[in-house]
Amino acid sequence: MTSATAAPILEMSGLNKRFGAVRALIDVDFEVSPGEVVALVGDNGAGKSTLIKAISGAQPADEGRIVFDGRPVSVSTPADAVDLGIATVYQDLALCDNLDVVGNLWLGREARNAGVVLDEVTMEHRATELLRQLEVRTLRSVRTPVSSLSGGQRQSVAIARSLLGEPKVVMLDEPTAALGVAQTRQVLDLILRLKEQGLAVIVISHNLADVFEVADRVVVMRLGKRVATFDARAVSRADVVAAITGADLETAAHPEARAAVHDDGDPTDPAGPEGAA
């Protein structure tokens, strides 16, 4: 059963973001429900990371509405997002090599609970518990220094860290980029486990095989716009690729069109028919 029947936990509408003349987000709507995995795909520069950063508060949109758990909210800083229960795992995982797994999990939140500083034993216990819940089996000890972990294990630690705040939405920007086959498997399994636990998951990936492994819905962005949304079980890889490249608009055959669409106020905007739709 799809979670699409559940009411969205996070809904955004009319998101716009400009970087000078570049329109990185153009009237983007986006929504995700509890227990649902949405894959966000699109070519380089399509606006995927910009969308994630608008939700995570790292780089707020210029315009747009965000509704979280049925309430309009404003997310202007990363702390706002974390407080709401929106966790983000960025591609550069920002783990500290010289600390062990426990140290990395608690880094920056130094285990304060209601003002009480937790001791090492409690932190270690919670770290072990969290990784057990996530079924991160390959990790022998939470006292292993992060420098000696594999890429997949590091990604698991980064994901686990994002879960300490007990979020309702988890966003992952390219979690399997640069991972080998077995490590990718491990991260994909982890994503499915988050879904099972009822979290809403947004995952950016350039790897369509990974996308089809985990996603319920596939949202395609192109040149700042959301151009297509597919039920992952009902769409072919070719259709997703066509939406990504804009094969239907022949933008792939006319690379100069890509520049023109970013040219603010160009009346010959090749995305015109779509924009008018």
Ligand X SMILES: Nc1ncnc2c1ncn2[C@@H]1O[C@H](COP(=O)(O)OP(=O)(O)OP(=O)(O)O)[C@@H](O)[C@H]1O
- List residues near ligand X by CB under 6 A: 19, 22, 24, 42, 44-50
C-beta closer to ligand X: residue 45 or 165? 45
By beta carbon distance, the residue nearest Mg ion is 49
C-alpha dist (Å) from residue 252 to 55, 209, 222, 245, 266: 29, 22, 11, 6, 19
Q: How far is the CB of 228 from Mg ion (least distance, A)?
A: 18
Q: How far is the CB of 236 from ligand X (least distance, A)?
A: 22
Residue 19 binds which of ligand X, Mg ion, none (CB < 5-8 A, kind-dependent): ligand X
Q: How far is the CB of 194 from ligand X (least distance, A)?
A: 21
Q: How far is the CB of 246 from ligand X (least distance, A)?
A: 14
Three-state SS annotation for the chain: CCHHHCCCCEEEEEEEEEECCEEEEEEEEEEECCCCEEEEECCCCCCHHHHHHHHHCCCCCCEEEEEECCEEECCCCHHHHHHHCEEEECCCCCCCCCCEHHHHHHCCCCCEECCEECCHHHHHHHHHHHHHHCCCCCCCCCCCEHHHCCHHHHHHHHHHHHHCCCCCEEEEECCCCCCCHHHHHHHHHHHHHHHHCCCEEEEECCCHHHHHHHCCEEEEEECCEEEEEEECCCCCHHHHHHHHHCHHHCCCCCCHHHHHHHCCCCCCCCCHHHHHC
Give residue 23's identity as a one-letter amino acid code. Answer: R
C-beta closer to Mg ion: residue 127 or 244? 244
Of 2-10, 45-53, 180-188, 243-251, the segment contacting Mg ion by CB under 5 A is: 45-53
Q: Is 49 in the site for Mg ion (CB under 5 A)?
A: yes
Residue 205 binds which of ligand X, Mg ion, none (CB < 5-8 A, kind-dependent): none
C-beta closer to ligand X: residue 19 or 272? 19
Residue 268 binds which of ligand X, Mg ion, none (CB < 5-8 A, kind-dependent): none
Q: How far is the CB of 206 from ligand X (least distance, A)?
A: 6
C-beta closer to Mg ion: residue 41 or 243? 41
Q: How far is the CB of 23 from ligand X (least distance, A)?
A: 8
Say if CB 57 and CB 77 are below 8 A apart.
yes
- Kindly state the tokens that stand for 62: 């210029």
C-beta closer to ligand X: residue 43 or 124? 43
Residue 24 binds which of Mg ion, ligand X, none (CB < 5-8 A, kind-dependent): ligand X
Q: Is 205 in the site for Mg ion (CB under 5 A)?
A: no
C-beta closer to ligand X: residue 52 or 142? 52
Interaction site with Mg ion (CB under 5 A): 49
